[in-house]
């Protein structure tokens, strides 16, 4: 009599363990999917922020380039144009980040 009872308990325990294993696998898959979604959203937010920043920085860079060029012509001193060099590197980086392939290259 005890053997029949213990056999049904063992079968029930085994079924419970299989259910828990399946449940934990399903939960892990869902967590991975959610992590991927969060990473994609974070990347999209970063690209959107960069594009918005690029609008303002591009305006500043354009005005600075025109102003420095006019100043260099007026003073007849090409050294006035030097601040354009680092600003152009920043502009190129931001443009590549917002509209280029910088993020894909970083992932690779």
* Res 5: pLDDT: 63
Q: Which residues contact 32 (CB under 8 A, 6 or more apart)?
A: none
Q: How far apart are CA 7 and CA 106, in angstroms?
A: 57
Determine the Cα–Cα distance for residues 37 and 9; give it in Å rounded to an integer.
42
In the prediction, which pLDDT does 4 show? Answer: 60
Give the residue extent of every domain in the chain. 1-107
The pLDDT of residue 8 = 75
Could you tell me the CA-to-CA distances from 48 to 3, 73, 98 in Å, in that order? Answer: 67, 37, 7
CA 97 to chain CA centroid, nearest Å:
10
pTM for the full predicted model:
0.68
CA atoms within 13 A on the CB side of 5: 2
**Tens digit of each residue's pLDDT, the chain (108 residues):** 456 667 777 888 888 899 899 999 999 999 999 999 999 999 899 999 999 999 999 999 999 999 999 999 999 999 999 999 999 999 999 999 988 887 777 777
At 2 the pLDDT is: 53
């Amino acid at each position: 009599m005890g053997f029949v009872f213990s056999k049904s308990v063992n079968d029930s325990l085994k079924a419970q363990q299989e259910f828990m294993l399946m449940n934990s696998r399903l939960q892990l898959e869902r967590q991975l999917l959610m992590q991927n979604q969060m990473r994609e959203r974070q990347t999209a937010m970063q690209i959107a922020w960069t594009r918005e920043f690029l609008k303002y920085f591009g305006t500043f860079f354009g005005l600075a380039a025109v102003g420095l060029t006019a100043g260099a012509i007026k003073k007849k001193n090409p050294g006035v144009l030097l601040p354009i060099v680092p600003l152009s590197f920043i502009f190129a980086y931001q443009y590549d980040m917002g509209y280029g392939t910088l993020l894909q290259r970083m992932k690779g």
